[in-house]
């Protein structure tokens, strides 16, 4: 039990250390857009996306990467991404947020 606790602590510290070094990109969500709508990443360079909302609850889904997060008012959703393949990965809001919700999308472009 005590060992398990130490293990967990170690993992948490490692994660925090990784987060501390990673480049941070702030992404805001609002009806009906993301800013920036195009997020450029470099292959193999980990980043942390800090997702916040300016108005109501939105979603942040990247189906190709099996990522599905919520962005709640007053909270920061941190998402660590290690781009391991080049290409374009569309994301969109998957919390229906009104007339215009269908346009609320963007893409992550991973450059080699």
> Which positions lie near other proteins, rule CB under 8 A?
57, 59, 61, 63-64, 70, 90, 92, 94-99, 101-103, 105
Taking the complex as a whole, how short is the minimal distance between the CB of residue 104 and Cu ion, in angstroms?
5
Stretch that binds Cu ion, among 9-17, 40-48, 71-79, 101-109 (CB under 5 A): 101-109
| Percent helix, percent strand, percent coil in the chain, to nearest 5 | 25, 45, 30
Contact 27, 94 (CB under 8 A): no
Site of tokens 């039990």: 1
Applying CB under 5 A, the span of 17-25, 55-63, 69-77, 84-92 interacting with Cu ion comes to 55-63
């Amino acid at each position: 039990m005590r060992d398990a606790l130490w293990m967990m602590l170690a993992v948490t510290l490692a994660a925090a250390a990784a987060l501390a070094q990673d480049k941070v990109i702030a992404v805001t969500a609002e009806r009906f857009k993301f800013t920036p709508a195009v997020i450029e990443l470099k292959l193999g360079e980990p980043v942390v996306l800090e997702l916040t909302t300016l108005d109501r609850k939105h979603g942040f889904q990247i189906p190709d990467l099996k990522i599905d997060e919520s962005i709640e008012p007053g909270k920061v959703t941190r998402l660590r991404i290690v781009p391991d393949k080049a290409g374009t990965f569309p994301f969109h809001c998957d919390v229906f947020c009104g007339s215009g919700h269908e346009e609320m999308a963007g893409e992550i472009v991973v450059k080699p």
